[in-house]
């Protein structure tokens, strides 16, 4: 494609509700919102039905069975695993809603693994009471079905569309009244004016290898932050155990541990015995990646996943639930039946932490909602029991229910036309440069920050990470050059994802205790007296790196459950 400096010509759409992102959260939000009769527009950066984590996820969804399960036991498991950081207002009702969403998916034709008419249920990693059920063909089937349901309801779908900016009301300067985006193939801008926006843009996974999805650059997070939205729990960004050489295996692959795969270090030792002698590899994710990190840092790596001892029946089940990872291994000439697979961990950033949301998906900005991995997943605390896919589906459903009411009651406000011209010109900057830095090169520089952001954190490394991120932001991002619109999407996405790295390090520096995945060498204990609080961050001023932080005490007086305080007294 010939390089050009881009055109400011824009298509304009007017809609009632704009959903940005077409994964499980965005689809549920769009479906629910469209059922109200309102006009819904959905933007997807790739291809609806094949985009995002949702497409690549395993077939696993946590699902409550009222006849067999104890709701109170599940609830307690959620808050204890979440280290009490859970927003219990969000968690309320969610366990029952898992069954509602599954009933709905089944009604839409999604096939689940069953035996004699009942769901086959398996404990997920970290599950004691909770149970997962299994969709055949994983996210491939799920997202294909959701695409059909979205289109069937008359949702206007714009694909290959990258949203770059939220549009703010010209009247009060705060209310979100739409978004600006561009087509990453044609370059044509889209200005969508709407009564409300639902961000469902997913996690930020465009930088780190191991589970890299180039399109998931945290665009919604960055746009929301730029518009002055509150973020919460950003210090708990999640690590994920993944194979070393692949990006397509990570999502949902931890069910391999649930099926009996073991982790071995370079000496052939089953090192999880040191970390969780009872649950071993079925321990929760935090224990697993801390263990892997310790083995690698202790010189006993590389670490391997070994499923060679499992029955053929297990592999048959895995083929159905993890079709994409299995195809990936086959393409690499590997077979779980006979090969140990080199395993490591990466910063997946898909939970928790993100845009602060209440149980309806409302953010701190009027007119702006969020669902899915772009949200802070307040339900989950530091570590989820309900699978991310299911939490995202419920968040999408909830947001989709409330948004039509909000839009119906709100006065429609105008977009500042002059502002959109300014924004479009800024978007095109990397295409105007005749020389500059290639986004792939700068991404590699971002990856150099990785050793400073490992699971064991300290002040010196966090400050070094912040300094490194700033250097890239101030000296390299402004020099990015895009050869085409595809490259332009990477230039913008890289800046967005880099911002989230800096935000993560800044928040991790602030929380002076250890809890869940957040481990500080200087403060290795959990400190409930000082830190049963949420860390909230918001932009202050014009620059993305100017921010205010505050903490809020978690309102346990309102919640069904509260912890026995642990840790140091002040």
Partner 1 sequence: MGEVTERDLSMAGVSRRVAIKHIDPDRCIRCGVCTLSCPNDVIRMRRGKPTIVYWQDCSQCFACVIDCPREAVSLGWVTVETP
d(CA 469, CA 462): 10
Of 249, 283, 355, 365, the one binding partner 1 (CB under 8 A) is 249
Give me the least distance between CB of 214 and partner 1, in Å please. 4
**Binding map of partner 1 across residues 172-191, x = CB under 8 A, - = no contact:** ------------xx------
Per-residue string for binding with partner 1, 76-115, x by CB under 8 A? ----------------------------------------
Q: What is the C-alpha to C-alpha distance for residues 392 and 97, in angstroms, rounded to an integer?
A: 12
In the bound state with partner 1, the residue whose beta carbon lies nearer, of 329 and 535, is 329
Among 401, 486, 533, 538, binds partner 1 (CB under 8 A): 486
Strand bridging mode 262-264 / 456-457: unpaired
- Kindly state the tokens that stand for 508: 């991790």
Q: Are 23 and 143 in contact (CB under 8 A)?
A: yes
CB of 327: closest distance to partner 1 in angstroms?
5
Tokens of 423: 């924004």
In this complex, which beta carbon is closest to partner 1, that of residue 138 or of residue 353? 138
Give the CA angle between residues 40, 42, 44 to the nearest 5°.
180
Spatial contact of 340 and 52, defined as CB atoms under 8 Å apart: no
Q: Which positions from 209 through 228 interact with partner 1, judged by CB under 8 A?
A: 209, 212-215
**Residue 132 bridge partners (DSSP):** 62, 122
Scan residues 267-306 and list those touching partner 1 (CB under 8 A): none
Given the structure tokens 């250097």, which residue do they identify?
471
332 binds partner 1 (CB under 8 A): yes
Residues 254 and 425: their CA atoms lie apart, in Å, by: 44
Of residues 364-403, those binding partner 1 (CB under 8 A): none
Number of other residues whose CB lies within 10 A of the CB of residue 345: 25
Which of 322-330, 450-458, 503-511, 523-531 is the region at the interface with partner 1 (rule: CB under 8 A)? 322-330
The answer to whether 56 contacts partner 1 (rule: CB under 8 A) is: yes
Stretch near partner 1 under the rule CB under 8 A, chosen from 51-59, 98-106, 188-196, 414-422: 51-59
Q: Does 26 bind partner 1 (CB under 8 A)?
A: no
Q: How far is CA 303 from CA 180, 244, 266, 281, 346, in A?
A: 45, 10, 6, 13, 13
Q: What is the DSSP letter of 254?
A: T
Contact criterion met (CB below 8 Å) for 337 and 365 = no
The one among 280, 324, 488, 537 contacting partner 1 by CB under 8 A: 324
Residue among 521, 532, 540, 543 nearest 570 (CA)? 532
Q: Which of residues 411-470 bind partner 1 (CB under 8 A)?
A: 440-441
- Binding site residues, partner 1, CB under 8 A: 45-47, 50-52, 55-56, 140, 160, 184-185, 209, 212-215, 244-249, 323-324, 327-328, 331-334, 339, 440-441, 486, 489
């Amino acid at each position: 494609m010939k390089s050009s400096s881009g055109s400011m010509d824009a298509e304009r759409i007017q809609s009632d509700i704009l959903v940005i992102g077409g994964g499980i959260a965005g689809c549920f939000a769009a479906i629910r919102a469209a059922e109200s009769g309102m006009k819904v527009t959905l933007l997807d950066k790739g291809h609806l039905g094949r985009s995002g984590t949702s497409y690549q996820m395993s077939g696993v969804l946590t699902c409550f069975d009222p006849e067999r399960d104890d709701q109170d036991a599940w609830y307690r498991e959620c808050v204890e695993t979440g280290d009490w950081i859970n927003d219990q207002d969000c968690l309320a009702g969610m366990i029952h809603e898992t069954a509602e969403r599954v009933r709905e998916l089944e009604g839409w034709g999604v096939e689940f693994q069953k035996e004699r008419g009942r769901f086959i249920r398996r404990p997920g990693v970290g599950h004691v009471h909770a149970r997962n059920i299994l969709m055949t063909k994983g996210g491939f089937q799920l997202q294909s079905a959701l695409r059909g349901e979205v289109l069937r309801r008359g949702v206007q779908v714009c694909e290959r569309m990258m949203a770059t900016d939220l549009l703010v009301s010209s009247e009060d300067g705060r209310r979100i009244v739409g978004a600006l985006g561009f087509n990453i193939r044609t370059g044509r801008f889209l200005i969508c004016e709407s009564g409300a926006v639902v961000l469902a843009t997913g996690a930020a996974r465009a930088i780190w290898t191991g589970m890299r999805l180039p399109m998931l650059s945290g665009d919604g997070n960055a746009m929301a932050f730029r518009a002055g939205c509150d973020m919460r729990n950003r210090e708990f960004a999640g690590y994920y155990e993944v194979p070393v050489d692949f990006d397509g295996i990570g999502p949902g692959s931890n069910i391999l541990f649930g099926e009996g795969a073991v982790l071995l270090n370079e000496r052939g030792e089953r090192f999880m015995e040191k970390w969780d002698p009872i649950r071993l590899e079925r321990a929760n994710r935090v224990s697993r990646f801390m263990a892997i990190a310790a083995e690698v840092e202790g010189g006993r790596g590389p670490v391997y996943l070994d499923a060679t001892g499992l029955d053929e029946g297990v592999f048959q089940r895995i083929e159905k639930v993890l079709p994409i990872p299995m195809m990936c291994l086959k393409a690499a000439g590997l077979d779980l039946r006979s090969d140990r697979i080199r395993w490591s961990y990466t910063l997946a950033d898909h939970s928790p932490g993100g845009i602060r949301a209440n149980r309806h998906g409302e953010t701190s900005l009027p007119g702006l909602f969020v669902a899915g991995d772009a949200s802070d997943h307040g339900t989950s605390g530091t570590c989820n029991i309900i699978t991310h896919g299911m939490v995202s589906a419920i968040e999408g459903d909830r947001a989709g229910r409330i948004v039509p009411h909000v839009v119906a009651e709100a006065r429609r406000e105008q977009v500042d036309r002059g502002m959109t011209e300014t924004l479009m010109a800024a978007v095109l900057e990397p295409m105007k440069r005749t020389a500059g830095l290639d986004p792939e090169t700068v991404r590699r520089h971002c990856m150099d920050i990785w050793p400073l952001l490992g699971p064991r954190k300290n002040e010196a490394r966090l400050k070094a990470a912040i300094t490194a991120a700033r250097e890239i932001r101030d000296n390299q991002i402004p020099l990015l050059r895009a050869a085409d619109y595809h490259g332009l999407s990477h230039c913008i996405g890289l800046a967005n994802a880099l911002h989230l790295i800096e935000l993560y390090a800044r928040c991790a520096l602030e929380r002076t205790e250890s809890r869940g995945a957040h481990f500080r060498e200087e403060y290795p204990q959990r400190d409930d007296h000082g830190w049963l609080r949420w860390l909230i961050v918001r932009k202050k001023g014009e620059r993305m790196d100017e921010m205010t932080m505050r903490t809020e005490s978690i309102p346990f007086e309102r919640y069904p459950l509260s912890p026995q305080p642990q840790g140091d007294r002040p």
